[in-house]
Amino acid sequence: MKAFVLALTLVFCGPLAAANDVIFGRSSGLTTGPDGKVTPLSGTLQFEDAPDVTSKVASERVDMVNVKCGGDVEFSNGGSCTMQQMAKDMAEHVDKYALQCFRAAARAAGLTEPKKIQITASGCFNDRTTAAGAVSNHARGRACDISAVKMDGGKEMQLKKPGSEAGLGREFYDGFRNCWKEVTACAGGGGGGEGATGSIGASGHQPPPANGSHDDHIHLSVPNCSR
Ligand SMILES: [Zn+2]
């Protein structure tokens, strides 16, 4: 009954809008069936429950999902859709906001706003620390490294390194980052770094201090601000 009421609430009211509704407000809405599987109502990102994983680095259980193919946001490798594992919190956030933020990024870069996006991810869940030895959001299943994107079945475009000629540069990344900050609950808080913004990296234009290990990809995260 509870699940049914929740489903009705989502269908009729929709999820709460972001505090600052600057973008499109697009959201698929999600419902959980009796089998515990999460089913997208309009198919932005397809994912289903996976066995929990215990992160050694973060010393916590990760409520994991498998992100699959078939939505209008997909994770891919070289243009072919590949499954990724991430925390359910992250998948729900990506489901709600990634497409609109990639549209904002495309708009900022003077490109056509895509209806479908394939994200080339070089890794999501990864039980490891940061280079500085702290718990990485990858270890919590709350981060993915995005090295390239393919919009509406077009050419795969790399997040470009400073000085390289082809690819997506500062305008694209800033457009994405500004949007992701708007929709990430603890943007502006969380103690700086990825906790503050939910995304770092790409194109060698870090907020100071510069971060050379993130000059060719977007580290996309959904920080848990209660930590
Ligand atoms: Zn990363």
Q: For the chain, give every domain's residue range.
A: 3-180
Question: How many residues in total does the chain contain?
Answer: 227
Q: Which of 17, 217, 200, 180 is nearest to 104 (CA)?
A: 180
Cα 173 to ligand 1 centroid, rounded to whole Å = 15
Per-residue pLDDT tens over the stretch 46-81: 899 999 999 999 999 999 999 988 888 999 987 688
Q: What is the pLDDT of residue 216?
A: 74
Cα 188 to ligand 1 centroid, rounded to whole Å = 19
Highest mean pLDDT among 6-20, 28-42, 94-108, 172-186: 94-108
Give the mean pLDDT of the chain: 73
| CB 20 within 8 Å of CB 48 | no
Q: Sorting pLDDT into bands at 50, 70 and 90, what band is 203? A: very low
The contacts of residue 66 (CB under 8 Å, 6+ apart) are 47, 48, 49, 50, 83, 84, 85
Q: Sorting pLDDT into bands at 50, 70 and 90, what band is 197? A: low
Q: What is the pLDDT of residue 152?
A: 93
pTM higher than 0.85: no
Q: Quick check: helix, strand or coil at residue 205?
A: coil
Cα 210 to ligand 1 centroid, rounded to whole Å = 15
Cα 122 to ligand 1 centroid, rounded to whole Å = 9
Phi and psi at residue 218, to the nearest 5°? -95, 120
Cα 206 to ligand 1 centroid, rounded to whole Å = 14
Cα 220 to ligand 1 centroid, rounded to whole Å = 7
